[in-house]
Amino acid sequence: MNVKRMLYDGPMARATQDTVEHIVEQWAAVRPDLDCSPIQVVGRVSRLSRLLDRRLSENFAGHALESWMYDVLATLRRAGEPYELAAGDLVRHTMVTTGAITNRVDRLEERGYVERVADPDRRKVIIRLTAAGLALVDDVVTSHLATEAQVLACLTPRQRDQLARLLRMVLLDLGDAAPD
């Protein structure tokens, strides 16, 4: 089974094959009885995730951040004024453990990007963006979205919408509903 594709890059055409196509060809050669079509999607989503993480991390590094730092700062920013969430809500919105969020908040607090604020009823700890954290996340979000747009530049707007809808369907089917 030959699944090579032709890409046209100016006047010169070149054959290209992504890694997943190569894997599917290998399986077809050694186990032609298997339906490897799920690899066409799942394998690509998995590889895409790793490549996206690498590309986004390069952008964050330019701001002296790691991706998890941006995740926490952006989650607080999206919460709206006064840019704060209870620690438990922050855990739910970032999908990490309580221990992990404590460590992350500690490290962001050391840098002056967040602060812990006692809740009036004393049963919760509130995590709030500082002015420095707000300025940083507002700066980074611009380059972050530009990086994401560059990654998707090979798709038309219609293709992007279609891909977004299809991925949404799979995520919802796997139980990835938005937090309350």
Name the band, by pLDDT with cuts 50, 70 and 90, for residue 120: confident
Residue whose entry in the numeric block shows the structure tokens 């996206």: 52
Q: Which fold has domain 64-180?
A: Arc Repressor Mutant, subunit A (1.10.10)
Is residue 116 within 8 A of residue 105, CB to CB? The reply is yes
Residue 1 DSSP class? -
pLDDT surpasses 60 at 2:
no
Name the band, by pLDDT with cuts 50, 70 and 90, for residue 15: low
Angstrom distance (rounded) from CA 167 to CA 103? 31
Is residue 27 within 8 A of residue 39, CB to CB? The reply is yes
pLDDT surpasses 70 at 32:
yes
99 or 170: which carries more pLDDT confidence?
Answer: 170
Q: Is 131 exposed, middle or buried (0-12, 13-18, 19+ CB in 10 A)?
A: exposed
What's the confidence (pLDDT) of residue 11? 43
